[in-house]
Amino acid sequence: MRRLPIFFLVDVSESMVGENLYKLEAGIGAVVSTLRKDPYALETAFLSVIAFAGKARTVTQLTELFAFHPPELPVGGGTALGAALIHLMHEIDRTVVTTTPDRKGDWRPIVFLLTDGHPTDDATKAVEQWTRRYRHRVNMVAVSIGGGADHALLKRLTDEVIVFNDTAPDAFARFIQWISMSIQSQSRSVSAGQDAKVSLAKAEPGLLVPIEDALTGLTPFLGVDDRYAVFVGKCAKKNLPYLIKYERHMGRIETTDPVLSRLLRTRRYVLDTAIPVKNSYFDLSDTLDSGQSISSDDLIGQPDCPHCSAHFAMAMCGCGRIHCVEGVGKQVCPWCGKTGMYGMAEAGEGFDINRGRG
């Protein structure tokens, strides 16, 4: 049997944390249940999920549809696209059966690359290798989530670069449907013996925009840089990491509350979510330091610790790392082990907080 191998190469960096990652996780499940009802897909499609942040890891090996269990996606720091491509090429070499004079191999693999940020590693070598040895025999569809990816770089990987507007109504549900339909359509093509360019479902205006149109300015959501500020904290009680994500509000929030309205005028980021992560976070991260910081005076909202519910999850130690505290006074930092005195920063005396790598 000739298989149609499908790889999801998914960016699980900090900026994806929260809503987007949950929706993507549920989305992969939805793709699978749709495809299972399609006789052509059921016969040919095999799925694999590779997650990447600062490092890349195969989360689900290439598996036939009815044995496939949608995985829980991990989280990490960084967007090492170079490392992700190298991992992908290795996986293709390892699992895809090539055609030889006396053997029909697998159909041309499809790769859905989903990413929302600029690479944090040097992807030059990986891109060259991809272009030379893989680009002509693998169908890659590169999706820039929210328009935040490096589009020039994605264009070097494939002709199919699409900007996904994740703020559109029902964006993820429609996006997932589009992926399912594209896979169905491709599995029909290969069943008819056509192993050609990927036949993508029709992209919906406003939701999925070909990069050429996006570049001509038809998509106002494009070029939103720096949408999120993400911080890595550690619970002082449980010694486990958590992520705090702030979103740039860009004047979109309306309020009648005078205090909030004043804050919105002077501060750029508003609290989005604080979520607990496992220690596996460190396995998928390259380095914890982005070298970038942001002033506490630019942030609106202060979350509780998502592990132990302590009142302040954004306390900063002299070592530069963030952890939780119950209130002012003496505390031991779970990162460096030193004891320090903690007080409250007054407005206007903001301190610089080190950001994650996104």
The residues that touch Zn ion, with contacts defined as CB under 5 A, are 235, 237, 305, 307-308, 310, 317, 319, 324, 333, 335-336
Q: Which is nearer to Zn ion, 105 or 329 (CB)?
A: 329
Beta-carbon neighbour count of residue 195 at 10 Å? 17
Least Å distance between CB 332 and Zn ion? 9
Q: Which is nearer to Zn ion, 121 or 289 (CB)?
A: 289
Place of tokens 């910081």: 293
Least Å distance between CB 179 and Zn ion? 38
Least Å distance between CB 333 and Zn ion? 3
Least Å distance between CB 335 and Zn ion? 4
Question: Over the range 221-250, which residues count as b (16 or more CB within 10 Å of their CB) and which as e?
Answer: bbeeeebbbbbbbbbbeeebbbbbbbbbee
Q: Residue 56 in contact with residue 17, Cβ under 8 Å?
A: no
Q: Which is nearer to Zn ion, 260 or 332 (CB)?
A: 332
CA–CA separation, 220 vs 147, rounded Å? 10
Q: Which is nearer to Zn ion, 260 or 336 (CB)?
A: 336
Backbone angles phi, psi at 332, to 5 degrees: -100, 130
Q: Kindly state the tokens that stand for 213.
A: 């149109």
Q: Which is nearer to Zn ion, 111 or 236 (CB)?
A: 236
Least Å distance between CB 290 and Zn ion? 18
Residue 219, CA distances (Å) to 20, 55, 180, 181 in order: 20, 31, 24, 24
Q: Which is nearer to Zn ion, 193 or 318 (CB)?
A: 318
Q: Which is nearer to Zn ion, 253 or 319 (CB)?
A: 319
Q: Residue 31 in contact with residue 63, Cβ under 8 Å?
A: no
Least Å distance between CB 34 and Zn ion? 40
Least Å distance between CB 293 and Zn ion? 16
CA–CA separation, 167 vs 145, rounded Å? 10
Place of tokens 């840089």: 225
Q: Roughly what angle, to the nearest 10 degrees, separates helices 171-191 and 19-36?
A: 30
Least Å distance between CB 303 and Zn ion? 11
Q: Kindly state the tokens that stand for 103.
A: 């053997």
Contacts of 305 (CB under 8 A, 6+ apart): 233, 235, 236, 237, 242, 274, 311, 312, 313, 324
